[in-house]
C-alpha cells in the first residue's frame, strides 16, 4: 500500500482500528522487538494518550494485532481449502495462492522474536493458527481419501504437517535468496508428491506465477 493510499485509509478509520492495523504492518515489517510504540503512533497518526486509552501497552496492542493477522490468514486459507474441487485441487489452491513471498509469513515472522515465543499470551495466536491450519488440511485430505480421490495409504495428519512446513520453510529459503524461486520450487515439490497419491494420478500443477515482492 502506498503512502498516500495508507494515509487516506487511516483518515477513514477510528483510532483503535488505526492502531491495530498500523501494528499489524509494523510487526510484519520489523518484528515485535523492532516495533516501538513511537513507530506505531507515527504510523497510525495518533497521540500517545490515544494508544493508552485503548490498550494497556505495546504487548496488549501487539496481541490484538497478532490475533487480527491470524484471523485474516485463517479466512484466506479457508477460502482455498473450503473451495470447490477435489482434495488435491483445494490444497493446490492454498499452496498456489498469491503471496508476498519475499516479505515472509506475517505469522511465521512472529516465531522469530524471542519476546513473542517466550510469552504464552503472544504465542497463543500463533499456536492456534498453525494448529488450525494443519487440522484443516488434514480434514480436506481425510475427506479426499474417503471419497477415493487419494490413496488409502496416505497419512492425512503427517501430510498436512508437511504442507504447512513446506510453506513456512519456503518463505525462509526465499528470503535468504532474495528470490521467490526457492518458495516456488518447494511448492511444486510437495504438489508433485501429493499428485502421485491421487487416484488416478493428476498431472503436475501449473507453474506458480511470479509472486509480489
Tell me the CATH number at 16: 1.10.10.60
> What are the cell numbers at 11?
483518515
User: Per the domain annotation, does 204 fall within a domain?
Assistant: yes
The residue range of the domain holding 169 is: 69-213
Report, as ranges of residue numbers, the positions in the chain whose pLDDT lies below 50: 210-213
User: Per the domain annotation, does 61 fall within a domain?
Assistant: no
User: Per the domain annotation, does 64 fall within a domain?
Assistant: no
* Beta carbons within 8 Å of 188's beta carbon, 6+ residues apart: 204, 205, 207, 208
At 213 the pLDDT is: 34
At 50 the pLDDT is: 84
- Report the number of distinct structural domains present in the chain: 2
In a shared domain, residues 41 and 116: no
Taking CA atoms, 4 is separated from 1, 11, 18, 35, 110, in Å, by: 8, 11, 15, 22, 28
Give the pTM. Answer: 0.85
In a shared domain, residues 79 and 107: yes
Indicate the DSSP class of residue 178.
T
In a shared domain, residues 126 and 168: yes
- The answer to whether 211 and 180 have CB atoms below 8 angstroms apart is yes
User: Per the domain annotation, does 63 fall within a domain?
Assistant: no
In a shared domain, residues 133 and 35: no
In a shared domain, residues 103 and 5: no
Amino acid at each position: 500500500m502506498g503512502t498516500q493510499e495508507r494515509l487516506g485509509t487511516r483518515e477513514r478509520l477510528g483510532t483503535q482500528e488505526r492502531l491495530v492495523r498500523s501494528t499489524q504492518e509494523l510487526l510484519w515489517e520489523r518484528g515485535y522487538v523492532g516495533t516501538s510504540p513511537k513507530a506505531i503512533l507515527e504510523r497510525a497518526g495518533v497521540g500517545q494518550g490515544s494508544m493508552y486509552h485503548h490498550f494497556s501497552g505495546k504487548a496488549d496492542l501487539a496481541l490484538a494485532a497478532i490475533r487480527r493477522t491470524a484471523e485474516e490468514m485463517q479466512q484466506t486459507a479457508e477460502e482455498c481449502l473450503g473451495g470447490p474441487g477435489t482434495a488435491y485441487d483445494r490444497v493446490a489452491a492454498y499452496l498456489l495462492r498469491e503471496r508476498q513471498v519475499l516479505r515472509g509469513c506475517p505469522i511465521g515472522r512472529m516465531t522469530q522474536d524471542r519476546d513473542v515465543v517466550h510469552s504464552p499470551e503472544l504465542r497463543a495466536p500463533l499456536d492456534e493458527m498453525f494448529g488450525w491450519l494443519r487440522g484443516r488440511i488434514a480434514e480436506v485430505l481425510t475427506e479426499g481419501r474417503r471419497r477415493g480421490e487419494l490413496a488409502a495409504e496416505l497419512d492425512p495428519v503427517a501430510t498436512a504437517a508437511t504442507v504447512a512446513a513446506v510453506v513456512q520453510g519456503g518463505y525462509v529459503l526465499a528470503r535468504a535468496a532474495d528470490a521467490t524461486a526457492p518458495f516456488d520450487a518447494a511448492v511444486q515439490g510437495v504438489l508433485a508428491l501429493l499428485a502421485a497419491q491421487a487416484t488416478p494420478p493428476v498431472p503436475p500443477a501449473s507453474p506458480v506465477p511470479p509472486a509480489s515482492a
